[in-house]
């Protein structure tokens, strides 16, 4: 932290060499070097997974993954973006599924090929226990798979690294939807309020507010009961 | 080890020292007069030299930030002669422009209302689901708790919006809130719940009840990815990396589709549609007054520009939302959102002396003003190595108040982000400063999501009227699904009976004539489509208001 602003490092973006300020993220460093993103940029805040990248640093054999918007450049970095992960998302009707292992095996049978090598977990820029949620899916533990995969942003780095050719993020998505729909279920007070709204219970009160002049609204707003 | 530079350590010590005494303490909320005063003195919206009156078009005379007016007083990218309108690449019933929460909801709802999935086309300049919707952290409001109801929500919205909201839109939003949550749960969205199966609800700035539903601090991510998953399940047609650059009209004055730019091939294509829905989001990447932004890469005001080219009315664009707490340090994440839920769960804003200076849950405009005043009026901010100023947001209090582990459990995203840059927010506060977050105004719609131009619908942040002059936390998420679904429904209904005439881009010539008649001489072009950060612009942080 607090590096001297003028300190520069050398990076190689898809083979092209650039001198960039040492404290920039990969994304900003690429822009500094003159690149305008079309693919490979999204939220720029670590929420969307559009900017997955792989890199090696000079002198190391290690192939590493990162989000370009979250990773600070290092001197001697070789960078390739992986803006798209080639994978098919299976289509299904959630209302016809059951929350068990067979569902996962029917739609994503390749999960049974998991070698437990943990490469997916090591590749994850979100530090998610990817292998563990794939294994949880395999044994039908929907709740655990949903919980473990929750912070997934579908950047695809696990999928490009998996030697068993599993696409973990699709498996996690299925797990979370099954868990919400079938394990957690609907919320009673939400359903009740929807019925009340549909029965018109609040219409008269809201109509009265809508018909009020600004002064009346102001009085009611400033003097409203606050229960936090 | 501290994640902050040596010179900030003395101030951090003061934060630590005052922490035990601050537990459970808060300054009182401001009264109506105090709020007006601080807004007038310190809110960026009230700096009149940062705005001008629009010189052309259906909203001539409306006041708006220079950066927004610049995109409207600009030449369209294409000229009518550039495009062969007889060569229609996509011929559909409903065209949806934008793939965030509003666009996804609109598409899914259009097919519920009888449009075939191959007769809906969604175009998106980035990827499916890539939008501000996905970045929402703190939550979504809906009045479904026993001690709450839509009437109470209505009053919070309209008071928070300074009574400038369009009442019909507010009514639709608050009444349909619980229905949106029900729909989400049917689709398999995972909301945070208590052990008894009820929703875990939090307050937000300006709410009078705990009404915020959350999915950890990945609320927008969770909802968006479920909608994307369902969108693909329904086999609705879509094209990514394809941006609308202008709307197409027909010779009967209806909007009839759009000219699309295939960004992979640098090629224009024509989409013809009986109903067109704008769901293009906001304008954060215009960096109003030089502010950093929380917004997605694609938030460049394209929808408002395209709508204005066909004569749609705009409203409330004079009002911009600055989120009180954007990151001010470290440099790599400057401007990024530090969710309001942090304050809802007990984090307090503090000045460099470690002192409280504002009630933590004022409405966003008031809270942001108080932070700006502390830094630039009272000179009690902390200056960063790049010369920005900020105040502390004392996050360790969250675990003190709610128990150890709360931050990791409920703020996984925040914890992860700061940790990557060496700051452990369980142990050290964040350094924050207001950041450009949301456009309160936009294209005017009615409750059917119709704009003032036949055939053109709009939903989500691109619209104005729902939030008046100030939006409350969690109501943008709600807005997306309520009005996204309405737009999909009414656009589908229209498509069943609408017929189209001959396609034309003559409105662009009309627009050019308006520009020259008004004496606008510029080489600016719009919509912007992609923001410009190449070269040294990467390093710019220049606040124009100060």
Residue B543 above 80 pLDDT?
Answer: no
Q: What is the pLDDT of residues B24-78, one digit of tens each?
A: 999 999 999 999 999 999 999 999 999 999 999 999 999 999 999 999 999 999 9
- pLDDT value of position A2: 42
What's the mean per-residue pLDDT of chain A?
Answer: 95
B405 touches chain A (CB under 8 A): no
Structure tokens at B199: 């929703």
Strands B503-504 and B120-123 come out as unpaired
Question: According to CATH, what is the number of the domain A8-81?
Answer: 3.10.20.740
Q: What is the pLDDT of residues B476-494, one digit of tens each?
A: 999 999 999 999 999 999 9
Name the residue ranges covered by the structural domains of chain A: 8-81, 94-184, 198-222
Q: What is the pLDDT of residues B272-312, one digit of tens each?
A: 999 999 999 999 999 999 999 999 999 999 999 999 999 99
Homologous superfamily of the A94-184 domain (CATH): Alpha-helical ferredoxin (1.10.1060.10)
- pLDDT value of position B65: 97
Query: Of B130, B40, B150, B168, which is closest to residue B468 (Cα–Cα)?
Result: B168
* DSSP three-state, residue B525: strand
The CA-to-CA distance between both ends of chain A, in Å, stands at 39
| H or E, element range at B97 | strand B88-97
- Which residues of A are less than 8 Å from B294 in CB distance? 45
Q: List residues of B with catalytic annotation.
A: 323, 343
Q: Report the largest interatomic distance among the alpha carbons of chain B, rounded to a whole angstrom.
A: 73
- Right CATH for B88-319+440-506 from 3.30.360.10, 3.40.50.1820, 3.50.50.60, 2.170.150.70: 3.50.50.60
What's the mean per-residue pLDDT of chain B?
Answer: 96
User: Could you tell me what percent of chain A has a pLDDT over 70?
Assistant: 97
* DSSP three-state, residue A67: strand
Please compute the mean of the pLDDT values over residues B154-162 and round it to a whole number: 97
- pLDDT value of position B542: 57
| H or E, element range at A56 | strand A52-57
CB pairs under 8 A between A and B: 241
* DSSP three-state, residue B456: strand
Strands B525-526 and B75-76 come out as parallel
- pLDDT value of position B319: 94
pLDDT band at B1 (very low <50, low <70, confident <90, very high): confident
- pLDDT value of position A150: 98
pLDDT band at B179 (very low <50, low <70, confident <90, very high): very high
In chain B, count of helices (H) and strands (E)?
A: 15, 23
The CA-to-CA distance between both ends of chain B, in Å, stands at 34
A43 → closest Cβ in B134, B144, B533: B134
Residue B538 above 90 pLDDT?
Answer: no
Task: Supply the ipTM of this predicted assembly.
Answer: 0.97
- pLDDT value of position B537: 75
Query: Of A126, A147, A127, A125, which is closest to residue A136 (Cα–Cα)?
Result: A147
- Which residues of A are less than 8 Å from B31 in CB distance? 222
Q: Minimum mean pLDDT among A3-7, B133-137, B282-286, B325-329: which range?
A: A3-7
**Tokens 């589709």 sit on residue:** B257
Q: What is the pLDDT of residues B407-416, one digit of tens each?
A: 999 999 999 9
| Strands (E) located in B240-352 | 242-250, 255-262, 267-278, 314-315, 320-329, 348-350
Entry field: residues in chain A: 228
Structure tokens at A160: 């490009």
Put simply, whether the predicted model's pTM sits higher than 0.95 gets the answer yes
Query: Residue B432 and residue B15: Cα distance in Å, rounded?
Result: 14
B333 touches chain A (CB under 8 A): yes
Q: Residues with Cβ < 8 Å from B195, sequence gap 6 or more?
A: none
Query: Residue B235 and residue B274: Cα distance in Å, rounded?
Result: 20
Q: How far is the alpha carbon of A221 from chain B, nearest alpha carbon, in Å?
A: 6
- pLDDT value of position B545: 54
Residue A75 above 50 pLDDT?
Answer: yes
Tell me the residues of chain A between 20 and 79 that have a Cβ less than 8 Å away from chain B: 21, 23-25, 28-29, 31-32, 34-39, 41-48, 50, 70-72
Residue A149 above 50 pLDDT?
Answer: yes
Tell me the residues of chain B between 420 and 439 that have a Cβ less than 8 Å away from chain A: 420-422
Sign of CA dihedral B450, B456, B460, B465: negative
Tell me the residues of chain A between 102 and 161 that have a Cβ less than 8 Å away from chain B: 126-127, 146, 150-151, 153-154
Please compute the mean of the pLDDT values over residues B445-458 and round it to a whole number: 98
- Domain B6-30+324-436 architecture: Alpha-Beta Complex (3.90)
Query: Of A101, A82, A85, A64, which is closest to residue A165 (Cα–Cα)?
Result: A85
Structure tokens at A162: 């998996």
Residue A201 above 80 pLDDT?
Answer: yes
Residue A1 above 50 pLDDT?
Answer: no
The answer to whether B159 contacts A35, with C-beta atoms less than 8 Å apart, is no
Q: How many CB atoms within 10 Å of residue A6?
A: 7
Q: What is the pLDDT of residues B180-238, one digit of tens each?
A: 999 999 999 999 999 999 999 999 999 999 999 999 999 999 999 999 999 999 999 99
Q: Minimum mean pLDDT among B269-278, B328-337, B513-522: which range?
A: B328-337
Domains A8-81 and A94-184 belong to one CATH topology:
no
By CB atoms closer than 10 A (0-12, 13-18, 19+), residue B380 is middle
- pLDDT value of position A3: 43
Query: Residue A215 and residue A219: Cα distance in Å, rounded?
Result: 6
Residue A37 above 60 pLDDT?
Answer: yes
Q: What is the pLDDT of residues B222-274, one digit of tens each?
A: 999 999 999 999 999 999 999 999 999 999 999 999 999 999 999 999 999 99
- pLDDT value of position A5: 54
Please compute the mean of the pLDDT values over residues B129-143 and round it to a whole number: 95
Q: How far is the alpha carbon of A136 from chain B, nearest alpha carbon, in Å?
A: 18
User: Could you tell me what percent of chain B has a pLDDT over 90?
Assistant: 96
């Amino acid at each position: 932290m607090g590096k001297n602003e003028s300190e520069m490092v050398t990076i190689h973006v898809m083979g092209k060499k650039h001198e960039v300020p040492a404290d920039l993220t990969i994304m900003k460093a690429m822009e500094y070097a003159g690149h305008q993103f079309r693919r490979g940029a999204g939220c720029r805040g670590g929420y969307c997974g559009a900017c997955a990248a792989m890199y090696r640093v000079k002198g190391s054999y290690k192939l590493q993954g990162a989000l370009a918007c979250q990773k600070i450049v290092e001197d001697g970095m070789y960078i390739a973006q992986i803006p798209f992960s080639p994978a098919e998302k299976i289509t299904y009707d959630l209302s016809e599924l059951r929350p068990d292992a067979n569902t996962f095996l029917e739609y994503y049978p390749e999960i049974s090929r998991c070698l437990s090598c943990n490469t997916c977990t090591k590749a994850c820029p979100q530090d998610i226990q990817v292998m563990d949620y794939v294994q949880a899916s395999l044994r039908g533990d929907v709740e655990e798979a949903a919980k473990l995969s929750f912070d997934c942003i579908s950047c695809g780095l696990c999928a490009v690294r998996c030697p068993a050719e599993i696409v973990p993020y699709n498996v996690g998505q299925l797990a979370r939807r099954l868990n919400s729909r079938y394990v957690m279920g609907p919320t009673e007070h939400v359903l009740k309020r929807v019925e009340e709204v549909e029965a018109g219970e609040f219409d008269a009160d809201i109509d009265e507010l809508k018909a009020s002049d600004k002064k009346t609204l102001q009085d009611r707003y400033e003097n409203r009961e606050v229960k936090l | 080890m501290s994640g902050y530079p040596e010179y900030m350590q003395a101030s951090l010590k003061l934060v630590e020292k005052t922490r035990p005494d601050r537990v459970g303490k808060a300054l009182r909320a401001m009264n109506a007069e105090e709020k007006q005063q601080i807004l007038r003195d310190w809110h960026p919206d009230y700096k009149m030299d940062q705005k001008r009156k629009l010189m052309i078009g259906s909203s001539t005379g409306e006041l708006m930030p220079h950066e927004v007016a610049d995109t409207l007083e600009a030449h369209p990218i294409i000229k009518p002669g550039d495009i062969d309108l007889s060569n229609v690449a996509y011929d559909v019933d409903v065209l949806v422009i934008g793939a965030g929460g509003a666009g996804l909801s609109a598409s899914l709802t259009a097919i519920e209302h009888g449009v075939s999935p191959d007769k809906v086309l969604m175009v998106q300049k980035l990827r499916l689901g890539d939008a501000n919707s996905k970045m929402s952290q703190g939550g979504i409001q809906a009045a479904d708790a026993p001690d709450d109801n839509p009437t109470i929500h209505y009053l919070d919205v309209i008071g928070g919006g300074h009574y400038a909201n369009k009442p019909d839109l507010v009514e639709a939003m608050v009444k349909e809130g619980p229905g949106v949550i029900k729909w989400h749960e049917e689709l398999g969205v995972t909301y945070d719940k208590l052990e008894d199966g009820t929703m875990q609800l939090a307050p937000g700035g300006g709410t009078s009840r705990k009404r915020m539903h959350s999915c950890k601090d990945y609320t927008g991510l969770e909802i968006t990815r479920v909608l994307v998953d369902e969108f693909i399940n329904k086999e609705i047609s879509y094209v990514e990396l394809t941006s609308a650059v202008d709307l197409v009209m027909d010779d009967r004055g209806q909007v009839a589709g759009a000219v699309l730019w295939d960004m992979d091939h640098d090629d224009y294509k024509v989409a013809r549609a009986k109903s067109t829905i704008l769901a293009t989001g906001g304008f954060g990447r215009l960096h109003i007054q030089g502010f950093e932004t929380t917004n997605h890469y694609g938030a460049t005001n394209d929808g408002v520009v395209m709508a204005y080219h066909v004569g749609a009315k705009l409203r409330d664009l004079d009002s911009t939302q600055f989120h009180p707490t954007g990151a001010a340090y470290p440099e790599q994440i400057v401007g990024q959102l530090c969710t309001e839920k942090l304050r809802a769960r007990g984090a307090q804003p503090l000045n460099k002396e470690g002192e409280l200076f504002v009630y933590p849950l004022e409405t966003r405009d008031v809270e942001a003003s108080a932070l700006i005043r502390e830094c630039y009026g009272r000179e009690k901010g902390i200056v960063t190595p790049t010369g920005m100023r900020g105040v502390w947001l004392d996050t360790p209090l969250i675990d003190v108040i709610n128990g150890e582990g709360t931050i990791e459990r409920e703020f996984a995203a925040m914890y992860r982000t700061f940790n990557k840059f060496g700051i452990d927010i369980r142990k050290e506060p964040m350094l924050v400063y207001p950041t450009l977050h949301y456009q309160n105004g936009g294209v005017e719609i009615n409750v059917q999501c119709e704009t003032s131009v036949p055939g053109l619908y709009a939903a989500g942040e691109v619209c104005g009227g729902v939030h008046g002059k100030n939006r409350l936390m969690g109501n943008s998420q709600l807005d997306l699904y309520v009005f996204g679904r309405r737009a999909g429904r009414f656009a589908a209904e229209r498509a069943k009976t609408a017929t189209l005439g001959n396609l034309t881009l003559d409105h662009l010539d009309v627009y050019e004539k308006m520009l020259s008649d008004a004496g606008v001489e510029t080489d600016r072009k719009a919509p912007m489509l992609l923001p410009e950060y190449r070269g040294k612009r990467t390093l710019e942080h220049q606040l124009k208001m100060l």
